[in-house]
Amino acid sequence: MTTSEAIRKNFGVVEAEEMVLNMGPQHPSTHGVLRLKIRTDGEIISHIEPHIGYLHRCFEKHCENLTYPQVIPYTDRCDYLASMNNNHIYVLAVEKLMGLEVPERVEYIRVIMAELQRIASHLMAVGAHGLDTGGITPITYTFRDRERILDLFEYTCGARLLYNYIWIGGVSHDLPPDFVQYATEFLDYFEPKIVEYNRLLTYNKIFIERSADVGVLPADVAVNYGASGPVLRGSGIDWDLRRNDPYSIYDRFEFDIPIGTGEMGTVGDSWDRYFVRVREMEESVKILRQALARLPKDGDVHAAIPKKVRPPEGAIYFRGENPRGELGFYIISDGSPKPYRLKMRSPAFVNLSVFSEIATGWMLADIISILGSLDIVLGEIDR
Amino acid sequence: MSSFIDTIVDFLVRLLGIPQGAAGFMLILVAVVLGVVVFLFTAVNALVAVYMERKVSAFMQDRLGPMEVGFWGFRGGKRFWGGIAQTLADTFKLLLKEDIIPDKSDRKLFILGPFILYGAVFCAFIGIPLGYGMAISDFNIGIFYVIAISSVGVIGIILSGWGSNNKWSLYGAVRSAAQIISYELPVGMSLLLVVMVVGSLQFHDIVAWQEQHRWFLFHSPFTIVAFVIFFLSGVAEANRTPFDIPEAESELVAGYMTEYSGFRWAIFFLSEYANMAVISLMTAIVFLGGWLSPVGGLLRLFGVPEGWYYLDGSLWGVFWISAKAILFIFIMMWFRWTWPRLRVDQLMYTAWKVFLPIALLNIFFVGIWELIFA
């Protein structure tokens, strides 16, 4: 569909002189330092060009000069809203390259942390999407609950945002006493709160008007662009690496994969992407309850940590499901303590590439809302 | 009924024994003093309303709001009034900030914009009575005057949006113009219905009618619809959520205010809250009996004879009208801190395809209702 066709389809025939507008890098709603070069025809956007790189920190080049354990804090800083997941997937990649087995307890602790982090990240996404459509209150509610998760992390490893918690062969600290009790208390507190978000935002008439049928991402386009995570699932494709390509111990848990159903509009609209996240939080709660119940009581979390991390020569691509989609690490090892080459496949980067496809032809206010529904993190896009 | 200002001038002329020729001078003096009073009123209104907004939003969002800036017993702790001097401190901060006028802006328009906006709201206050006989000037076309003069403000918004030489500001200004002009119509139509029933455009007559009969809100089912349309359109005219697209901080940075800072920005703020007050006061006067006490009506409903203590009278009138206005201001805040924002086309849709047809039909039905029941 060409631009003018899209405009006609959405808003009828209106054409006027066009204005070029720079949205960002300093703009309240571009989720960091994204710059959108947009051509506007009145309120309607006829062309979008995302410019990235304002947060480029040479992550991949840095990694070539760092030992394998030293890379972990850098993965924290890539997707700073999902640091635990990033640690987890990177560490699993290196462990697979080394052929390392970790104790049962470590696996459970890692999954617990990863799922808590997934909830925290989705809370941020849900709140920020509300903020993008103009509702200021939802984000304060989600932040209130995210705070409790961060408190749990702080209790465990001392850090609230960038943890460096999951290490190659183990985790940095064992779970503190009563962690299981506190985590269960949090889950009991949190589950009714999802209902509260739904009342406040999800089923709000104005929010539905703003997000249903807006920014529809058809399933074939999503697949062609390589979108993943809630963006892909919002388009109705049942694909989650935790189930379709199980890693760690995810095959031991029972959980559903929520997909977009077009409940309020079309399959693959902003509302679907949003609601997939809300429901994924419920699924994460399920996984957490199972993991907390089955967590082995004792076991050394440092048992498998190698004295020197020196993977054998070879290459590996390892992927896992982070809150934003498929996070992959391609690591080439030359047998030295430092990776020869490390490539990170970041989900938000790929998901952003679909943005100009689905947002063209919508209004200025819509592209903010669509951007919010893609849930990008610039730290990960620019690396 | 002679206007408030004439009464004062007459009183002073007689009290001081000023010769008749100097009465004109006296009139100017009194007008200036009353102008200062209105300015102070809007300023205090903004101070209180901003504090209220902060606290209301804080409590709705599970926060405490400003807690530190205060004096004597009015600071800290978890008490409601902690941080009561916050807005005062903010005012001083704004007044002391550097006055920045962008290089490439159209200097004259940039400076003029906020003052026109404020001037319009200021003038609207002149026509609004705060109690029986308490209007600075009670025009016989009061409603018409207030609606007309408050929509002049949009010129200020357009000037500042254009003069800022910023694309975001321009967006905000154009949106604002479209919005305010659209919502003028439902506002006018729903007021027209009241005017039709009362047969006068004067605020005092409208309240007097409500005193004799009943409040317009309870007059007929159609006036309830008119009330809802009027209030929601009023929210749109005051640029408040869910109709705050001219500012739309998540899209347009700050809309037409983007380039403003310091006291010029403070004037925008002052006007926004003054506008809220105008809308709330209008709603209270036209639909909720203005300064009439709700207690009297209740007692009458239970058969208590006339002449009992109804909490009526001038000062009580001010109290009641303020209470009603504050209720509406609170409802506006409630909207803002609960709802997302409408999109531009949805906003226009609401105005032209929902509110306006309903308001027009309403006039027709009220006409029939009056023929049958009056």
pLDDT at site B298? 63
- Please judge whether A206 and B63 are an interchain contact, meaning their C-beta atoms are less than 8 angstroms apart: no
Of A11, A137, A207, the CB nearest to B61: A137
Q: Dihedral through CA B298, CA B303, CA B308, CA B310, nearest 10?
A: 10
The percent of residues in chain B predicted with pLDDT above 70, rounded, is 88
**pLDDT for the residue A314:** 86
Does the structure show a pLDDT above 60 at B2?
no
**Global pTM exceeds 0.90:** no
Does B189 have pLDDT greater than 80?
Answer: yes
Which has more confidence, A193 or A3? A193
Please tell me if residue A143 touches chain B, with a CB cutoff of 8 Å.
no
| % of chain B with per-residue pLDDT over 90 | 3
Does B191 have pLDDT greater than 80?
yes
B151 to chain A nearest CA, in Å?
23
Among partner residues B241, B248, B343, which is closest to A366 by beta-carbon distance? B343
pLDDT in tens, A206-247: 889 888 888 888 888 889 998 998 999 988 888 888 888 888
Query: A201 vs B60: CB contact, 8 Å cut-off?
Result: no
Q: Does B343 touch chain A (CB under 8 A)?
A: yes
How many whole angstroms separate alpha carbon B258 and alpha carbon B262?
12
Interchain contact, A144 vs B62, CB within 8 Å: yes
In terms of C-beta density within 10 A (0-12 exposed, 13-18 middle, 19 or more buried), how is residue A383 classed? buried
Report pLDDT digits (tens) over B193-244.
888 888 888 888 888 888 777 788 877 888 888 899 999 988 888 888 788 8
Structure tokens at B18: 């000023």
Sequence-ordered list of residues with C-beta below 8 angstroms from that of B215, at least 6 positions apart, any chain: B287, B288, B289, B292, B297
Return the higher-pLDDT residue of A32 and B342.
Answer: B342
Q: Which of B57, B339, B345 sits opposite A363 (nearest CB)?
A: B345
Which span out of A125-134, A303-312, B213-222, B298-307 was modeled with the highest average pLDDT? Answer: A125-134
What is residue A343's three-state secondary structure? strand
Q: How many degrees, rounded to 5, is the angle at CA A48 between CA A42 and CA A50?
A: 140
Burial of residue A133, with CB atoms counted within 10 A of its CB: 0-12 exposed, 13-18 middle, 19 or more buried: buried
Question: Across the interface, do A134 and B241 touch by the CB < 8 Å criterion?
Answer: yes
> Is residue A122 very low, low, confident or very high in pLDDT (cuts 50, 70, 90)?
very high
Spatial separation of the C-alpha atoms in residues B370 and A17, rounded to whole Å: 51
Nearest to A135 among B245, B340, B345 (CB): B340
Q: Is the backbone peptide bond immediately before B242 cis, with ω within 30 degrees of 0?
A: yes
Mutate to test the interface with B, among A35, A36, A136 (most CBs of B within 10 A): A136
Q: Which two tokens stand for residue B273?
A: 């809250």
Percentage, residues of chain A above pLDDT 70: 96
Residue B322 CB-half CA count within 13 A: 11
Q: Give me the residue label for tokens 């005057």.
A: B145
Q: How far apart are CA A321 and CA A86, in angstroms?
A: 9
In angstroms, what separates the C-alpha of B246 from chain A's closest C-alpha? Answer: 11
Which amino acid belongs to residue A218? P
The pLDDT value recorded for residue B78 is 57
- State the pLDDT at residue B370: 82
Q: Which amino acid is at A61?
A: K
Q: How confident is the model at residue B150 (pLDDT cuts 50, 70, 90)?
A: confident
Nearest to B341 among A27, A133, A140 (CB): A133
Chain A residues whose beta carbon lies within 8 Å of the beta carbon of residue B346: 209-210
pLDDT of residue B76: 57
The tokens for B266 are: 């403070």
Q: Is B342 on the interface with A (CB under 8 A)?
A: yes
Place of tokens 């990170």: A344
Residues in chain A with CB shorter than 8 Å from the CB of B339 are: 134-135, 204, 206
User: In the predicted model, is pLDDT for residue B139 greater than 80?
Assistant: no
- Backbone angles phi and psi of B83, in degrees to 5: 80, 30
Per-residue pLDDT, averaged over B259-273, amounts to: 87
Report the pLDDT value the prediction gives residue A276, as an integer from 0 to 100. Answer: 92
Do the chains contact at A134 and B250, CB–CB below 8 Å? yes
How is residue A289 written in tokens? 């309850």
Tally of CA atoms within 13 A in the half-sphere of B15 that contains its CB: 7
Does B340 contact A137 at a Cβ distance shorter than 8 Å?
no
- Which residues of chain A neighbour B250 with C-beta distances below 8 Å? 28-29, 131-134, 368
* Neighbouring residues of A104: CB distance < 8 A, sequence distance ≥ 6: A296, A299
Q: What is the pLDDT of residue B135?
A: 74
Chain B residue numbers with beta carbons less than 8 Å from the beta carbon of A207 are: 340
B353-372 tens-digit pLDDT: 889 999 999 888 888 888 88
pLDDT at residue A185 tops 70:
yes
Mean pLDDT of chain A: 86
Whether B340 and A21 lie within 8 Å, measured CB to CB = no
The pLDDT value recorded for residue A364 is 85
Instruction: Tell me what pLDDT residue A150 has.
Output: 92
Q: What is the pLDDT of residues A285-297, one digit of tens each?
A: 999 999 998 888 8
Please tell me the distance in Å from A206's CA to the nearest CA on chain B: 6
CB hemisphere CA count around A214 (13 angstroms): 25
Best of B57, B336, B339 to disrupt the A interface by mutation (most A CBs within 10 Å)?
B339
Q: Chain-wide mean pLDDT for chain B?
A: 82
Percent of chain A with pLDDT over 90: 16
CATH of A59-382, one of 3.20.20.140, 1.10.645.10, 3.40.50.620, 3.40.50.150: 1.10.645.10
**Structure confidence at residue A120 as a pLDDT band (50, 70, 90):** very high
The region of weakest confidence among A3-7, A115-119, A126-130, A230-234 is A3-7
Please report the pLDDT score of residue B1 as a whole number: 42
Q: Do B340 and A366 touch (CB under 8 A)?
A: no
Euclidean distance between the first and final Cα of chain B, in Å? 26
| Residue from B166, B169, B251 whose CB has the most chain A CBs within 10 Å, to mutate | B251
Give the CB-side neighbour count of residue B366, counting CA atoms within 13 A: 28
Least confident interval from A11-25, A142-156, B321-335 = A11-25
Mean pLDDT of B328-333: 90
DSSP string covering B255-318: GGGTT--HHHHHHHHHHHHHHHHHHHHHHHHHHS-TT--HHHHHHHHTTPPTTS--S-SHHHHH
3-state secondary structure A328-339: EEEEEECCCCCE
Reduced to 3 states (helix: H, G, I; strand: E, B; else coil), residue B122 is helix
Within an 8 Å CB–CB cutoff, is residue A140 touching chain B?
yes
State the amino acid at position B369 in one-letter form: W
What is the pLDDT confidence band of residue B310, given thresholds at 50, 70 and 90?
low
